Structure 1
Amino acid sequence: MRLTPLYQQDREQAKQQGIQQGERLVVENLLKVRFGEINNELQEIIEPLLALPPEEFTPLLLQLSREELINRFR
């Protein structure tokens, strides 16, 4: 059975959205564990962090201080 191109496109888009949501949860959880509540300053850096691949943003979240993260991604 062949899937129609539109269905395949919708399916791929849904898959990508799921991956992006998962990555966002990982970033938010790491920030919460390291720094407590996510204030406005930390909230502002989530999107720039997510522009990086997970293998790049994960070590940064684990190694950089709150101030270093904010300064780097503002």
Structure 2
Amino acid sequence: MRLEPLYQQDREQAKLEGERLVVENLLRVRFGSLDNELSAIISPLLAFLPEEFTPLLMQLSREELIARFGGQS
């Protein structure tokens, strides 16, 4: 049994979980808490690279983020 594919899969999963935590923390810092609307934009944001979603999280207002990413799943 080859362990390399399992290792790569675990690494990718850990990376995605880490990125999710970063997005959640940035949203909490900016907006105080994660409600349903903000929670709903996390997955669409994770479709972007960290260097793309970080400036968006830091610059766009809550309303702009929800308008831009809230209609996606």
Pair in the same fold by TM > 0.5: yes
TM-score normalised by the chain length of structure 2: 0.93
Unaligned runs of 5+ in 1: none
Unaligned runs of 5+ in 2: none
Greater helix proportion: 1
CA distance in 2, matches of 1:44, 1:21: 16
Cα distance, 1:19 vs. partner?
0.4
CA distance in 1, matches of 2:65, 2:42: 10
**How many matched pairs?**
70
Instruction: State whether structure 2 residue 39 is matched by structure 1 residue 72.
Output: no
Identity of aligned residues (%): 61
Query: Where do 4+ consecutive residues of structure 1 move more than 6 Å?
Result: none
CA distance in 2, matches of 1:54, 1:16: 14
1:40 maps to 36
Instruction: State whether structure 2 residue 54 is matched by structure 1 residue 55.
Output: no
CA RMSD in angstroms, aligned pairs only: 0.8
- Name the larger-Rg structure: 1
2:7 aligned to 11, 27, 31, which one? 11
CA distance in 1, matches of 2:37, 2:9: 30
- The C-alpha deviation readout for 1:17-48, integer Å capped at 9, x for no partner, is 11001000000000000001100000000000
